[in-house]
Structure 1
Amino acid sequence: MNTPPKKNQETRKTNPQDSTQKTTRKKSTVLRLVLAITCIVVGVALLAFAGLRLAGISFGTTSVQDKPISDVMTMAEKGQLKSVSIAGNEITVTAKNGQEYHSIKEDGQAVTDTFRKNGVSVNIENNQNTQWVQGVVNVVLLLLVAGSLFFIMRRGSMGSQAAPFARSKAKRFNESRPSILFKDVAGVDEAKIELQEIVEFLKYPERFREMGARTPKGVLLVGAPGTGKTLISRAVAGEAGVPFYSVSGSEFVEMFVGVGAARVRDLFKEAKANAPCIVFIDEIDAVGRQRTNSGTGGNDEREQTLNQLLVEMDGFDKHTSVVVIAATNRPDVLDPALLRPGRFDRRVMLDKPDIRGRHAILEVHAKDKPLAKDVQLEELARQTAGFSGADLANLLNEAALLAARAGERTIRKTHLEEAILRVMAGPERKSRMITEEEKAIIAYHEVGHAIVMRSMPGADPVQKVSAIARGMALGITVQAPAEDRYLLRRSELLAKMAGAMGGRAAEEIIFGDVTTGASQDIEYVTNVARRMVCEFGMSPLGKVALRVEPDGSTTLSPEMAAKIDAEVAKLVDQAYETALSILRERKDKLVEISEHLIRVETIDGSELDAMLFAA
């Protein structure tokens, strides 16, 4: 098998000082602009000052007062004036007490003889000289304004350099010396297989062109937050050894219409100049939402930005080695034009990892952490069902912090168990002052959850029960499946609902009253019941989708909406009656385990089973 020829590495090398040079150019542009504006202001001030001085206007400390010409002539006849300066119709007189006055005479009015007759020194200025000076000042000011406008327009034009507000905010990562590779990304094996073709195209584009094949221009990564969409994109660039441009969809959209489109043009212009490369757009739903045909207007800036993005992706020729990778967790809101073949024509799903994926992710993040001998990553992966890759990384980091605070040299199993609870519900809040009565209510409430959960057929095992406040919760009962599940039976959903209502049922049985502590449980049970009725077809209403949109809009008739509400209430009541029946039957165990929890504050799953199923 022939090895494909290696592309000349020199063509993919990028200057390691690129980012520094860009920063320097930006600072230089700002400094030049500030310097130009300063020079203009200073020049205008100096020219104005010089013109006023040449025009004979004094800048002394004596204030000049305006006087009618009749009053000036009266002062002259009384011998109160010392000197007078006449420039056209402008008259400036100086009284014998040193006060200066300004006046304006009428055209043709003879005043010179009157001043001289009364012994006033008269100085007649050449008006043409003043007009010449004023003309020079006006011309220089006009040139300065024109020069400043030319400078600003030149800096703001999109030809050579984009204006600062229109430049792309994408961050460039130089992957000629990659820090992230596929080996650093675990739990997404299927996605790596899909993206390996992109790596091959960026490294050996000639092989694909010879076969007449065209690689996808755009790849859409779809997955829940924390599943590694950004990380695997960086790994693609690292494997291919090409530059990586990262930008968020929200960074395109601004208040002014047209700025986002200009930033899209600038981003793709720079990407094409540095091809082959990868452009990564995170949270593309911020700019790629469906355009409406309602005629009521909308976000013109966002739509113009989307239109420009569509044009740029259509503008790639078959020889342009620029791959656009976008990420979203809301693919249902994207515009169809964005998803058609020729733009984002490949969709890669990134699900939350299964037990094998969690094990692999934990191994990646545990490489630089000293684990104690009692730590089994496989067991930890089994306890963290539903955790994303980001959750697992945070879990190990929290455990390392706990070990460091305790002065330990290794991360022990207890640190990891505490870290799991921190990630799920938050840190302990032992400083919260709780009365003995409230502590008893919390203990019975949590044990009520645990007993119902362990008594329902097909229910998931209980891992831990705690009466210690964490985050916003006053207590916590941790239930984790023994294995990954992708489908749930109706009986299993009913078991989950009954287990969630066990806390409220325990309060009613033991204390004869209920508290506000079950508000989140009731909300959870109501949501599950509504989905069973409206989405899963698990009610007498039939196998139809009766979805209500998030904004509250619906096409349901009032009669059908009333039937849905009745079925939801029926399911919730059924779950509560099931919980009451189980706890009344096992009331002695409820009291025994709750009193034990009040003393020790935390019970793990094995201890709970030993007490619950003891003879």
Structure 2
Amino acid sequence: MNDNDKQPGGDSGGPNPWMKSLLIWVGILVALALFVTLIDNRSVGPNVNGIAYSQFLDRVQNGQVKDVNIAGEVVTGTMSDNSKFRTYAPQDPRLTDRLREKNVTITAKPEDPTPIWQILLVNSLPFFLFLGLGYFVMRQMQKNSGSGAMGFGKSRAKMLTQKEGRVTFNDVAGIDEAREELQEIVEFLKDPTKFARLGGKIPKGALLVGSPGTGKTLLARAIAGEAGVPFFTISGSDFVEMFVGVGASRVRDMFAEAKKSAPCIVFIDEIDAVGRHRGAGLGNGNDEREQTLNQLLVEMDGFEASEGIIIVAATNRPDVLDPALLRPGRFDRRVTVPLPDIEGRVKILEVHMKKVPLAPDVDARTLARGTPGMSGADLANLVNEAALMAARLGKRLVAMAQFETAKDRVIMGTEWRSLVMTTDEKRMTAYHEAGHALVRVHTPASDPIHKATIIPRGGALGMVVSMPERDNYSYHRDKMYADLATVMGGRVAEELIFGYDKVSSGASGDIKQATKLARAMVSQWGMSDALGPLQYEEQQGETFLGYSQTQRQNMSNETALMIDSEIRKLVDGGLMQAREILTEHIEQLHRIAGALLEYETLTGDEIKRLAFDGDIGRDDPDAKVSIVPGAGTSIPKTRRPKGGGPFGNPAPAGA
């Protein structure tokens, strides 16, 4: 929100909070000083000795008093040694006679009455002091809970106008279907009578559902920007406080402010913070969160579409929302904001690249192909990382090399340039990654290889990156078999080159990935002939590649044993296929590993040229990479079992 977009009813100027706090403390200190001064005026002055009345009479009797001044009950005077004294005398009628007997000079004056304002000030000052201190403490406690000392129930929604930073549908790319779903809301806000003439009612609310970073908030702002109406934004967590009734009061105040600015859009981000199932949490049904939700439901029923208020909410957990919140009449429309496909990623990259000076070799489509599963926020971060990297290198333009490095950094993490690896560890990593790459090259169903590297990055010592031709929304059996063989290629390469006893723990991630894929094939996707097309496990949380956390259904022990056996058969099949490929093409494995040791990073085209032509294709004297000597070249080719393929299924014709 810019400086000109202030919340209605809020302060638009004046001293800043620091100055206000300073002025309050200065006032408190001045009041304390005045109070102490008034009290001190009644006390003994400087260089005046207070003595008891009995001592005063003794000194009069001894002739030590020179003169006195009597003012009511207060007696002051001077001793014979010129020292001052002060005492309080009771109603003693003989005092004057005693003083005259000793020739003491006597002066008298009436007692000065204390002014009434001074009495009132002294008596009331402590009360006002504690009142001001309490007010200051309340202001400090409530400065984020609304305006004023009693601002607990004020809405914390911020109003954004379209004076600056206006967002339109042109700024929203990659989610065309969701944008079209909300287009009629924009038309309604522009011309409400268009729908009223035919008896149609615009939805009161729209629920945007999607993964984090897909652009739900940006899409809601674009609706307001296209329609040119005010935009109120608030988070679901801003409603709920520790004080009972505060959330419900804020809901009422938010809708009251929205009605004053109608037509407008009220955007509630992360509505699952307040809209969860009632009765599902701890405590009884009258807790603060449930009261806030009840008030929200009542308020959404309390206004008509003709009032011009559209409620737009966003969440990535629609499964936890209360059913009463999703019924028609409240959030009538549910709009899914998905992760962008390849065309959407191209558009999103082009939107963010407009702000960056690009080199001629930058290709947004190539970057989009290499970033499947990335959200709009991830792609914006990718462009920003590439620009920062080019600035650090002193470049005037951002080239494709910076985008590739930024992509690896976003996906895998920062390079470990300071990591010291021994020659044997680096050599094993090179053969491990070469094994992955070579199996992928020789399995046609695999995605095309993009590059291979042995530069440590994130939690991996190396990686092989594929480049899908298109986004995959379903996976075929041959693709899954190829993926199993590719995943196991690294472990097989280590065993072939360094021996059975030298296999390292570097394949732990590969084994985990292969086991997940095989388990999903058997228990969820019905790709086991022995178990048939039945679902034995439920998905609990999907990921982009289709792998998920699962929960096993009720089943017998025999069925569980069969599932484990089929998973083992699939993983062993991938291991067998990888061993066949690498044993048959052992010289290609040596060439790719040697090139990785020399250049550290190879492109997909270079890997193919090394495998089939023996030439890396680089314009330098060392373009030819010699075969790196290694163990395992004499290992015989593993044969397939009779009557079956490597995955335990019937062998295809011509195998």
Equivalent residue number for residue 180 of structure 2: 193
Equivalent residue number for residue 610 of structure 2: 611
Matched AA of 2:182: L
Q: Where does 1:144-223 land on structure 2 (aligned, <5 Å)?
A: 163=150, 167-175=154-162, 179-223=166-210
Equivalent residue number for residue 594 of structure 1: 593
Matched AA of 1:589: Q
Q: Where does 1:27-46 land on structure 2 (aligned, <5 Å)?
A: 27=15, 35=23, 39=27, 42-43=30-31, 45-46=33-34
More helix by share: 1
Question: For 2:305, what is the secondary structure of its paired residue?
Answer: coil
Shift of 1:198: 0.8
Task: Mark the CA change 1:153 to 1:400 in structure 2 (over 3 Å): closer, same or farther.
Answer: closer
Q: Deviations over 1:82-124 (max 9, x none)?
A: 7899999x99999999798999x9xxx9988699969899999
Shift of 1:398: 3.8
Matched AA of 1:270: E
Equivalent residue number for residue 9 of structure 1: none
Matched AA of 1:522: I
The answer to whether the 8 Å contact 1:179/1:238 transfers is yes
Equivalent residue number for residue 510 of structure 2: 521
Shift of 1:134: 5.1
Equivalent residue number for residue 472 of structure 2: 485
CA distance in 1, matches of 2:407, 2:146: 55
Count of aligned residue pairs for this structure pair:
589
Matched AA of 2:598: R
State which of 447, 450, 464 in structure 2 corresponds to 1:463.
450
Unaligned ranges ≥5, structure 1:
1-13
Task: Mark the CA change 1:515 to 1:50 in structure 2 (over 3 Å): closer, same or farther.
Answer: same
The answer to whether 1:58 aligns with 2:44 is yes
The answer to whether 1:137 aligns with 2:122 is yes
Matched AA of 1:518: A
Equivalent residue number for residue 235 of structure 1: 222
State which of 245, 259, 278 in structure 2 corresponds to 1:291.
278
Question: For 1:465, what is the secondary structure of its paired residue?
Answer: strand
Question: For 1:24, what is the secondary structure of its paired residue?
Answer: coil
Task: Mark the CA change 1:355 to 1:152 in structure 2 (over 3 Å): closer, same or farther.
Answer: closer
CA distance in 2, matches of 1:576, 1:84: 116
Matched AA of 1:546: E
Identify which range, 590-599 or 263-272, moves more after superposition.
Answer: 263-272
Shift of 1:343: 1.9
Question: For 2:593, what is the secondary structure of its paired residue?
Answer: helix
Equivalent residue number for residue 304 of structure 2: 317
CA distance in 1, matches of 2:515, 2:75: 91
Q: Please, what is the CA RMSD of the aligned residues?
A: 4.9
Task: Mark the CA change 1:585 to 1:176 in structure 2 (over 3 Å): closer, same or farther.
Answer: same
The answer to whether 1:435 aligns with 2:422 is yes
Q: Where does 1:388-537 land on structure 2 (aligned, <5 Å)?
A: 388-406=375-393, 408=395, 410-456=397-443, 458-512=445-499, 513-532=502-521, 535-536=524-525
CA distance in 1, matches of 2:50, 2:509: 80
Question: For 1:292, what is the secondary structure of its paired residue?
Answer: coil
Equivalent residue number for residue 624 of structure 2: none
Equivalent residue number for residue 224 of structure 1: 211
CA distance in 1, matches of 2:518, 2:71: 98
CA distance in 2, matches of 1:313, 1:95: 88
The answer to whether the 8 Å contact 2:44/2:50 transfers is no
| TM-score, with length taken from structure 2 | 0.73
State which of 319, 339, 342 in structure 2 corresponds to 1:355.
342
Task: Mark the CA change 1:273 to 1:565 in structure 2 (over 3 Å): closer, same or farther.
Answer: farther
Matched AA of 2:602: I
Shift of 1:19: 6.5
Task: Mark the CA change 1:44 to 1:383 in structure 2 (over 3 Å): closer, same or farther.
Answer: closer
CA distance in 2, matches of 1:394, 1:132: 68
CA distance in 2, matches of 1:508, 1:614: 26
CA distance in 2, matches of 1:159, 1:247: 13
CA distance in 2, matches of 1:146, 1:419: 59
Task: Mark the CA change 1:382 to 1:51 in structure 2 (over 3 Å): closer, same or farther.
Answer: closer
Identity across matched positions, percent:
44
Equivalent residue number for residue 7 of structure 1: none
Equivalent residue number for residue 647 of structure 2: none
Question: For 1:501, what is the secondary structure of its paired residue?
Answer: helix
Shift of 1:358: 2.4
Identify which range, 29-38 or 186-195, moves more after superposition.
Answer: 29-38
Shift of 1:276: 1.6
Matched AA of 2:514: V
Shift of 1:378: 3.6
Q: Deviations over 1:49-92 (max 9, x none)?
A: 43563xx3236488989xxx9xx75886587997899999x999
Question: For 2:203, what is the secondary structure of its paired residue?
Answer: coil
**Structure of larger gyration radius:** 2
Q: Deviations over 1:117-144 (max 9, x none)?
A: 6989999998997999656633565577
The answer to whether the 8 Å contact 1:526/1:568 transfers is no
Matched AA of 1:274: S
Task: Mark the CA change 1:19 to 1:596 in structure 2 (over 3 Å): closer, same or farther.
Answer: same
Matched AA of 1:594: A
Q: Where does 1:298-309 land on structure 2 (aligned, <5 Å)?
A: 300-309=287-296
State which of 518, 537, 550 in structure 2 corresponds to 1:546.
537
The answer to whether the 8 Å contact 1:385/1:480 transfers is no
Task: Mark the CA change 1:396 to 1:293 in structure 2 (over 3 Å): closer, same or farther.
Answer: closer
Q: Deviations over 1:323-371 (max 9, x none)?
A: 2222222222222232222222211112222222223333333335454
The answer to whether the 8 Å contact 2:591/2:611 transfers is no
Shift of 1:222: 1.4
Q: Deviations over 1:362-393 (max 9, x none)?
A: 33333354544444444443333333223333
Equivalent residue number for residue 330 of structure 1: 317
The answer to whether the 8 Å contact 2:146/2:155 transfers is no
Unaligned ranges ≥5, structure 2:
542-548, 615-655
Question: For 2:332, what is the secondary structure of its paired residue?
Answer: strand
Question: For 2:491, what is the secondary structure of its paired residue?
Answer: helix
Matched AA of 1:502: G
| TM-score, with length taken from structure 1 | 0.77
The answer to whether the 8 Å contact 1:537/1:545 transfers is no
Identify which range, 358-367 or 564-573, moves more after superposition.
Answer: 564-573
CA distance in 2, matches of 1:596, 1:437: 16
Q: Where does 1:564-579 land on structure 2 (aligned, <5 Å)?
A: 566=564, 570=568, 572=571, 575-576=574-575, 578-579=577-578
Question: For 1:224, what is the secondary structure of its paired residue?
Answer: coil
The answer to whether the 8 Å contact 1:94/1:101 transfers is no
Equivalent residue number for residue 12 of structure 2: 24
Task: Mark the CA change 1:244 to 1:153 in structure 2 (over 3 Å): closer, same or farther.
Answer: same
The answer to whether the 8 Å contact 1:115/1:122 transfers is no
Q: Deviations over 1:556-593 (max 9, x none)?
A: 67976975994696355554455445434443332221
Q: Deviations over 1:454-505 (max 9, x none)?
A: 3445222211101112233221210132221111234533433442333233
